[in-house]
Amino acid sequence: MSEFELDARRLLCPMPVIKTQDRIKGMNSGDQLTVTCTDPGVLEDIPAWCRINGHEVISSRQQDSEIHITIRVRNE
């Protein structure tokens, strides 16, 4: 299992979702990706995208104006 990070700060939805999607494409099942964002829209959109595509949000926390969402990847 590897851990990765993605900086999606200042991007507005759906760009953070698109960046997450494209990044996860090259990852393996079990890998973790932590996305850092500033658009609160991601609190809805990234979990929705994960539910649709079978990935798991394992944590989501807000610190000052930044949001960190960690995803466990499940690629077929």
Partner 1 sequence: MSHTPKAVALISGGLDSLLAAKVIQDQGVHVEGINFYTGFCVEGHTHAIRNKDKQKAKRNNALWVAEQLGIKLHIIEVIEEYKDVVLNPKHGYGQNMNPCLDCKIFMVNKAQAWAWMEENQFDFIITGEVIGQRPKSQRKDTMPVIAKESGADDRLLRPLCAKNLPATLPEREGWVNRDDLYDFHGRNRKPQIALAHKFGFTDFAQPAGGCCFLTDQSYSSKLKDLWSARGERTYELDDIMLLKVGRHVRPQPHYKLIIGREEGENNYLSGYRNEFTSIKTISHKGPLALVDGKVNDADLAEAAAIVARYSQGRDAESVEVEITDRDGVIKRQRFEPMPPPEVEQSWHV
Q: What are the catalytic residues? A: 13
The minimum distance between CB 44 and partner 1, in angstroms, equals 5
User: Interaction with partner 1 in 16-75: which residues (CB under 8 A)?
Assistant: 17-18, 21, 39-41, 43-45, 48-49, 51-53, 65
Q: Residue from 15, 32, 68, 74 that binds partner 1 (CB under 8 A)?
A: 15
Cα distances from 48 to residues 1, 25, 51, 54, in angstroms, run: 24, 17, 5, 10
Q: Residue from 10, 28, 56, 62 that binds partner 1 (CB under 8 A)?
A: 10
Alpha-carbon torsion (46, 75, 33, 31), positive or negative: positive
Burial of 68 (0-12, 13-18, 19+ CB in 10 A): middle
Residues that bind partner 1 (CB under 8 A): 10, 12-15, 17-18, 21, 39-41, 43-45, 48-49, 51-53, 65
